[in-house]
Amino acid sequence: MNLLASRPSLHMDGQDGLLFEGVPLQTIASQVGTPCWVTGAGTLRRRTRNLRKAFVERGLDVALHYALKANDHLATLTVLRQEGCGADVVSGGELRRAREAGIDPASIVFSGVGKTDAELTLALRENIGQINVESAEELHRLSRIASALGLTGRVALRVNPHIDAATHDKISTGRLGDKFGIDWADSAALYREASRLPGIEILGLATHIGSQILSPAPFKAAYARIAELVIGLRSEGLTVRSVDCGGGLGVRYRDELAPPPAALAGAIAETLGDLDLKLAIEPGRWIAAPAGVLLTSVIDLKAQREGVSDFVIVDAAMNDLARPSLYGAWHGIVPVAPDLAYAETVSQTVVGPVCESSDIFAKERQLPAVRPGDHLAILDTGAYGAVMSSTYNSRPLAAQVMIENGQWASIRPRQRVETLWTDESMPEWLDAE
Ligand SMILES: *Cc1c(COP(=O)(O)O)cnc(C)c1O
């Protein structure tokens, strides 16, 4: 129950069971079926406002560029656009999605280590606000493409500050040897060059050191390096107008001491706050993760011998929510029905039906003794949840619902199984009769 105590969007009601933003999840699970992603628009709004407030309180005017990859549903993007967010995109597809959601091109930033010529061309034609360049080669390629089109790319150099964000190896991006960004030691020379290249307008610097960062220290260390670079470049007479501070602020999934947004605002204020810069951040997870739950139903129980946790087999799987199998991520799991909320707990292992041993949502977890048909909510799945789904094992993509102010609506029906093979065709020689 202390899982719910630290999550203001969730409440257990003695009558209606688990409520998300006041909406009974039981109702959604029984009317839409499971697995089903539920996105709380109110939570998206509240968190965006809290984040903004933390910066305002430090006297900082910071642009919020929501990192689309965390949760890119058009309804999510529309809510965040209404809250004044721009977008951080990492592919041409995300760029087009951001435009489809009505996000102003001027507040779109394009990051990513492998932008194709076609993607750079799209970014130039859409006249987006900023392209974060990640290598000398990319800078030269962009210069050539822009010159040929007679257009100008507004550029920031993404610097790799060689800071260990002390997060999971697979989501760390700012260390020596990580594939992201321009080596910190080479950035000044490249900045100098960028200021002279045709088709390039150099705006400033960018960095992004990783995801699910749980301490302000790596942020502060990275931004201190960026501040040094800004000061050095300006002392050469170069113009540095902006710094994009990236994303990565962590959230509490289990019992982590996640830093409040004020800690990130503090790290930025203390390092970059007095340099008369246009500042931006690119939060993804912090805004979206607690704004989503994944509803699932118990298919069956599988008893194990004495001393070994029984298996609870649910109808969601690693193809829906990949994080536990991909990163060993921990997600809270709460029964939806009110009578289970206060029942005694036993150690159980919650698994999906996919034919992979890594298809485990929770290992030896204390949970009430559930029965087949019971609904469970997997918490904090609003970021890097539905966006990472696949159709492995020919499992159609799960349904999606959005809630706000006590209302709920389908925002994506469960995929029809036939659509899984509609684009498949046979080579003529198979003579498939
Ligand atoms: C993934 C990513 C983000 C968002 O990271 P979160 O941890 O979700 O805040 C921001 N900027 C860039 C360049 C990214 O690749």
Q: Tens of pLDDT along the chain (433 residues)?
A: 589 999 999 999 999 999 999 999 999 999 999 999 999 999 999 999 999 999 999 999 999 999 999 999 999 999 999 999 999 999 999 999 999 999 999 999 999 999 999 999 999 999 999 999 999 999 999 999 999 999 999 999 999 999 887 777 776 676 667 778 899 899 999 999 999 999 999 999 999 999 999 999 999 999 999 999 999 999 999 999 999 999 999 999 999 999 999 999 999 999 999 999 999 999 999 999 999 999 999 999 998 888 888 999 999 999 999 999 999 999 999 999 998 877 899 999 999 999 999 999 999 999 999 999 999 999 999 999 999 999 999 999 999 999 999 999 999 999 999 999 999 999 999 977 7
Residue 408 alpha carbon to ligand 1 centre in Å: 29
Nearest atom within ligand 1 for CA of residue 286? 9
**Which atom belonging to ligand 1 lies closest to the Cα atom of 248?**
7
Q: What is the pLDDT of residue 230?
A: 98
Atom of ligand 1 nearest to the CA of 283: 9
Strand partners for 314 = 298
Residues 6+ apart with CB under 8 A from 61: 55, 279
Phi, psi dihedral angles at 210 (to 5 degrees): 150, -170
Tell me how far the alpha carbon of residue 142 lies from the centroid of ligand 1, in angstroms. 22
φ, ψ at 192 (rounded to 5°): -55, -45
For residues 274-285, b (16+ Cβ closer than 10 Å) or e, as one string? eeebebbbbbbb
Q: What atom of ligand 1 comes closest to residue 383's alpha carbon?
A: 8
Give the whole-angstrom CA distance, residue 204 versus residue 83: 26
pLDDT of residue 152: 98
**pLDDT for 50-90, tens place per residue?**
999 999 999 999 999 999 999 999 999 999 999 999 999 99
Residue 210 gets the label, from left (phi > 0), alpha (psi -120 to 50) or beta, of left
* CA–CA–CA angle 297, 301, 304 (5° rounding): 150
Q: Please tell me the distance between residue 41's alpha carbon and the centre of ligand 1 in angstroms.
A: 20
Encode 353-421 in three state secondary structure.
Answer: CCCCCCCEEEEEEEEECCCCCCEEEECCCCCCCHHHCCCHHHCCCCEEEEEECCEEEEEECCCCHHHHC
**Residue 206 CA, ligand 1 centroid: distance in Å:** 12
Mutate to test the pocket of ligand 1, among 65, 80, 111, 173 (most ligand atoms within 8 A of CB): 111
Ligand 1 residue neighbourhood (C-beta within 6 Å) = 67, 69-70, 88, 90, 111, 208, 211, 246-249, 282-286
Mutate to test the pocket of ligand 1, among 108, 211, 251, 380 (most ligand atoms within 8 A of CB): 211
Task: Give the count of beta carbons closer than 10 Å to the beta carbon of residue 267.
Answer: 24
Alpha-carbon Rg of the chain, whole angstroms? 23
Which atom in ligand 1 lies closest to the alpha carbon of residue 211?
Answer: 7
List, edge to edge, every strand of the sheet that includes 17-20.
10-13, 17-20, 23-24
pLDDT at residue 164, as a whole number? 81
The whole-number pLDDT of residue 351 equals: 98
Ligand 1 atom with least separation from CA of 250: 7
Cis peptide before 338 (omega within 30 of 0): no
How many whole angstroms from 282 Cα to the centroid of ligand 1?
A: 6
Query: In angstroms, what is the span from residue 422 Cα to ligand 1's centroid?
Result: 34
Our mutation pick for probing the ligand 1 site, out of 69, 113, 380, counting the most ligand atoms within 8 A of Cβ, is 69
113 CA from centroid of ligand 1 (Å): 13
Total Cβ atoms within 10 A of residue 127: 13
Annotated active-site positions, please? Answer: 355
Query: What is the per-residue pLDDT for 340?
Result: 84
User: Residue with the nearest Cα to atom 13 of ligand 1?
Assistant: 111
Domain spans, the chain:
41-288
Out of 88, 209, 381, 387, mutate this one to test ligand 1's pocket (max ligand atoms within 8 Å of CB): namely: 88
Task: State which CATH number among 3.40.50.2300, 2.160.20.10, 3.20.20.10, 3.40.50.620 fits the domain covering 41-288.
Answer: 3.20.20.10
